[in-house]
Amino acid sequence: MKRIGALLDTNIQLSRFTHKWAYTQRTERRRNRVATWIEEIPTLRVLRGKTPEQSNSIYDSLKEIARMARGGLVTLYESDETLTEFLNFRPVGFGLGKFDVFGGVRIKHARAPIDRGFKIDATYTRERARNDWHAFLVQIDHPRFLKLLKHTGGEHKADLYHLWEAEHNRLEAFVTLDVRFINAVSNPKSIETLVKICTPAEFVEWVSQGQYRSR
């Protein structure tokens, strides 16, 4: 059976660590001495704009996607653009490997529909990278990308480019936490694409129920 290919949005990669380290000072009396030290304690990482319960629900879905990938049912992908976005957000991750839901999962590289160069030097800043990214999106005149843009009235350029990346690589799904984007391409009618655009929970249900179509 063909593996289901899924491109992960940047916000999925930014949500891959379930916990972070909190530091607390501990004091303990030992006979006639008082010992004080700093202790690391893992605490739930609450995702931006989410409650602890919502964050846990997202982590559960991501863990299930990782299990599917390890089991050979799903192949996960990133692209140059999602990776660059990920790095520009300065993601947490140092020392958090044990909390990585995608630990041990190979994430493959998706080819770009349009190649562009990346220059990282002493003048590189997050703001410059963001401006370069938007300037690149604005100048694209490929008919397919323009057709996708028309559906959203020119909004959500970055996510539409990722959708185009998924199409270009003949992937079955684009998984994102951006519900506003999902609504924009679903209402009042769904955008014309063979790629399933969905949240992690929707992706798990879609795969589990065998609703995908082989190409």
From residue 204, how far is each of 67, 74, 186, 198, 211 by CA, in Å?
A: 10, 10, 19, 9, 10
**Per the domain annotation, does 215 fall within a domain?**
no
Please give the backbone phi and psi of residue 165, each rounded to the nearest 5 degrees, phi first. -60, -45
| Cis amide leading into 91 (omega within 30) | no
How does pLDDT run across 93-148, given as a tens digit for each residue?
667 888 999 999 999 999 999 988 777 777 778 788 888 889 999 999 999 999 99
How far is the first Cα of the chain from the last one, in angstroms, to the nearest whole number? 12
Where are the strands (E) in the chain, listed by range?
4-8, 19-30, 33-44, 74-79, 107-110, 173-175, 196-198
Question: How many separate domains does the chain show?
Answer: 1
**Per the domain annotation, does 214 fall within a domain?**
no
Q: Which residue's entry shows tokens 């082989």?
A: 214
DSSP per residue, 44-59: E-PPTT--HHHHHHHH
Give the contacts of 19 (CB within 8 A, at least 6 positions apart). Answer: 42, 43, 44, 45, 96, 99
Structure token digits, residue 212:
């995908």
**Per the domain annotation, does 91 fall within a domain?**
yes
How does pLDDT run across 153-166, given as a tens digit for each residue?
999 999 999 999 99
Percent of the chain predicted with pLDDT > 90: 65
User: What range defines the domain where residue 83 resides?
Assistant: 4-208
d(Cα 107, Cα 6) in Å, to the nearest integer?
A: 10
pTM, full prediction = 0.88
